Structure formats: C-alpha cells, structure tokens
Amino acid sequence: MKRSSLVFIALVLLLAFLPFAPAFATPASAQTISISPTTGNIGTMVTLTGSGFSGTATAFTISFAGVIVSSGTTASGTLSASFTVPSGISTGTNVVVVTAGTQTAFAYFEVLKGAITLSVSQGIVGSRVTVSGTRFAPNSTVTVYFDGNSVGARTVGANGNFSHPFTVPENPAGSHDVTAGTSSFDLTDAVQFEIKPSLSEITPTSGAALTPILVSGKGFQADDNRISIYLGPTKIGEVKSNELGTFATAQVGFGEFPAGAWELKATDAAQNSATADTKFTVKANMTITPTAGNVSTPVKVSGTGFQANASISLTLDVAALNPVGPIRTTDKGSFTGNFVMPKSKAGAHTVAITDGTNSLSFAWTMESEAPAIPALRSPLSNKTIGALSKQSPVFTWGEVTDPSSVVYGFQIAKDATFSIPVITKDNLTATTSVETLERGLYYWRVMAIDGAGNASAWATPWTVQIGWPIPIWALVLLALLALAIIGLLVMVIGRSMVARV
C-alpha cells in the first residue's frame, strides 16, 4: 500500500474520532458537589454542598439546566447553598452546574413528572370523576385534559398536590386519555378512562302497542347507524349515533307485546350495551267493532298488551258474555274473539274484557228505535160473533219486523180505556191469540216490543160483540110476551072450534 494512502486513512480516522476527543481528554476535576435530594418535582427545595474549590474566597453561581438558581462565595474551598427547582424545566435528568471562577463541578437532578390518578376508571358520559395529582409545582395552575381537550384547571397546593372533579364529556365508547400539566410540554403520563354507553332518556315510560318511544343514548360506538333497541328480548328498532357516539330523541315503537314492565336496552355493532334505569311498562289495549247495534249484532273484540297465554273473559255490564268459542291470548299477549250481542235494554252499556290481571272496558250502545205498531186484522171492529152463548174467536194482527226481534203484548177489556183488562198477555211470539169470551162487548188491542225493550204504541182498539147485544131481562120479557101471545092464540083458536060444533 502506498504511503499516501495510509496517511489518508489515518486522517479519516482522526476526523471520525475527533468529536469524542474531549470526553476522553477531560481530566478528572478536583472539585466535587453533592445535592439532596437528587429527585423531585418543580419547586422542590434542593440543598447543595461542595468542596475542593480554591482556598481563596471566590464568587460562585449555581445553574439548573442552564437557569441560574443561586449564587454565593466559597469559603476555605467549600461552599453551600440551597435552591428550588425552577419552573419550565423539562422532566427527566437535568444537570446542576456550580461555577466558581474557572472551576466547575457537576451533579444531576431528576425532575419527576407529575402523576395523576382517577377516582374511578370507567363510567358513563355525564358522570363525575375526580383527578388527583402529585409532584406538581406548588401554587402553579394545572390544566386537566380529556383526549387533549381541557376539562378544567386547578391551582396546585403548597405540597405539590391538587384535586379536580370534572364531568365526562361526550365521547364514543372505549378508552380515553386523561392527562394534566402546567403546559403542553410537561403533561403527565396518560391515565385511561373507559366510557361505558348509557341510555339517558325514555319518553314515555309506559304505553300500549304502537306507542312511539323516544330514546336518547351516549357513549356508544361512533357513527353507528345500526344500534339495536330491545324491549325485553325483542328487537323493536334501530337508531344511529353521531361522531361522538350519541343519539338523541330517536324514535322506536313496538307492536304485539305481552303486558308487564320490560327493560329497554341498546346494543351497538361493537356489542357495547346499555340498559335504561327505568323500565317500560306495556299497557293493555282493546278495540271493539261495532260499538253500537241491535240485539244479535255480531261483535268483534281484539286486544294487545294482555298477559301471555291467558284466558279472556267478557262481560256486558255485570253479566257474563258467551263468546263464539273460547278466547285466549297468544304468547305475545294478543287476542281476537267474537260474540253476539244478547237482549239488553236500549241505551249505553259497558263491555269489559279481562285476563284476570289487566282489565279494559268500552261503551256499547243498544239501539233505541221502537218497532212499528201492529196492524189489527180480525175479528173486524164492531163484528158480532154468536147469539146467546159464549164464543172463542181468533184474534189476529199483522207481523212486525225489527233487527232486535219482536214479541207482542195483547189486551182485552170491557172499557175503551183498558182500566181493568180482562185479559193481558205478554211476550207473544205468534200473531194470533184464541180467547173464550162470554157474551158482551169487548175492546182489544196489540203492541210490539223489540229485544232491546223498545215498545211501539198500542194499536187503536177494535171492538167485538160476543152474542146478541140484547140484555137478558129483555130476552126474558120477550119470551114471556111470546108465550102470552101463543097462549092467547091457542085460547082463541079453541073457542072458535067449539062454537062451530
């Protein structure tokens, strides 16, 4: 190898190691210093002693990470002083330098980072959490951050401690960083706080099927458009969260559902789940069709929100109704049934339905229109039947029809006002009545009554004469007179025949 090449390589190696030369070349200093303590936070009081300095009194300065923190004069080669760790110093190892004339000495102090703890490590949006801090500069102002956003500030006490309560801000579910510091460059190590989802509102808290329910939730997965809402075990809808994992006044609803108080729960796509503090109570609901009619009207009843798999009983006012077949709810508490409206008074009635626990009632109106007045047919008015003996005439009248069915009332009296009827019959279903009557003049009439108790007016009375309308005494007198005449004729005829002889 040429000599010039060797020289070149030597120069390169010399240049490479040149920056490190002072480290190897620095002679050991005869001056020494010690500090106590060697660790602490900003504001910590530090005591410094030194020896090995010049015996001549010499002014000295103490600097901490380049910041002069104290000064004095050596005495007999020794020195002593105290200082506080200045603010604005970076955490970690910092150098303390004593300079006395041309003499220097070094020591190292570790500035400890402030530390914080949380009163709880998890909770819901809106809950209160307290941050407790230590090792901070006394009387300094510390700001607390939640994911880098300020949630308030506190003044540190003389002991370097502080306590600060804050409200958990709106954020998605999961872990979030809580830090604190007097400035952005001296923040503590992050402490994790886990946000749990919550359902904060249910309006209303009870209702029947198809009731809209407004729900609000916080702390769910961000931008989740398929957060499932459950009533008990049944999914009843989906809502969408925003970028903070919040949904407000979202509307859901339910159809058939058994009676009871049920938990309302929300679950997002990441399986974060929350249950509302208040349960939703499903109420019974019933419909009846029609709500008015006549006797024998077919009526349909249906309901939701009753007990599951329960027998349903019906009443009209206080009387039991017989449905067309047994009525029983499904496993979702719903039912449908039918019954035929029985005979009952015209006007308002109450149809009640119960499963033994839940009861509902509806108004039902029975028709109140009276049926037509029956038309009398025979015997015709003023007709005479028979001569001297009693008779059994057949009374007939025209049929009346009515949706509630019809029965007839029938009366016979000897006076036109019917003050003392001689015959009264009710609930006749036929349009005839055979009556045996003694001789005399009679008045008769008919009325119609439907199944709802609505009655027509009485038909205008007709009369019927049974036997001749001659009093008995007149008939006896006529008979005696006839006998007398016959006797006289016999006498006259007899005398005439004697005279001829």
pLDDT in tens, 125-166: 999 999 999 988 888 899 999 999 999 999 999 888 999 999
Closest CA to 304 of 287, 317, 289: 287
What CATH homologous superfamily does 26-111 map to? Macroglobulin (MG2) domain (2.60.40.1930)
The CA-atom distances, in angstroms, between 196 and each of 108, 122, 217 are 45, 7, 11
* pLDDT tens per residue, range 178-199: 999 988 777 999 999 999 999 9
Residue 482 above 80 pLDDT? no
90 has a pLDDT exceeding 60:
yes
Pairing of strands 260-262, 313-316: unpaired
Q: Spell out the residues 6+ positions from residue 169 whose beta carbon is closer than 8 angstroms to its own.
A: 125, 146, 149, 151
pLDDT, average across residues 77-95: 90
Mean pLDDT, residues 276-289 taken together: 96
Segment 200-252, tens digit of pLDDT: 889 999 999 999 999 999 999 999 999 999 999 999 999 999 999 999 999 99
CATH superfamily of 117-195: Immunoglobulins (2.60.40.10)
pLDDT bin (cut points 50, 70, 90) of residue 481 is confident
SS3 percent helix, strand, coil of the chain, rounded to 5, is 10, 45, 40
Helix (H) or strand (E) holding 339: strand 335-340
State both tokens at 189: 């190590």
Judge whether 89 and 67 are in contact, CB under 8 Å.
yes
**The two three-digit tokens of residue 61, written as one number:** 């300065």
159: left (phi over 0), alpha (psi -120 to 50) or beta: alpha
pLDDT tens figures, 406-437: 999 999 999 999 999 999 999 999 999 999 99
CA torsion through residues 29, 31, 32, 35, sign: negative
Query: What's the token pair of residue 318?
Result: 């206080």
The yes-or-no answer to whether 285-366 and 376-466 have a common fold is: yes
pLDDT at residue number 472: 63
Note the CATH number of domain 197-282. Answer: 2.60.40.10
Query: How does the average pLDDT of the chain come out, rounded?
Result: 90
What pLDDT score does 4 carry?
A: 40
CATH T-level assignment (fold) for domain 376-466: Immunoglobulin-like (2.60.40)
Split at pLDDT 50, 70, 90, the class of 473 is low
Question: Which residue ranges make up each domain of the chain?
Answer: 26-111, 117-195, 197-282, 285-366, 376-466, 474-501
The answer to whether the bond into 19 is cis (omega within 30° of 0) is no
Query: What CATH class has 285-366?
Result: mainly beta
17-69 tens-digit pLDDT: 334 334 333 344 489 999 999 998 888 899 999 999 998 999 999 999 999 99
Q: Cα separation of 335 and 464, whole Å?
A: 60
For residue 12, the 8-state DSSP code is: H
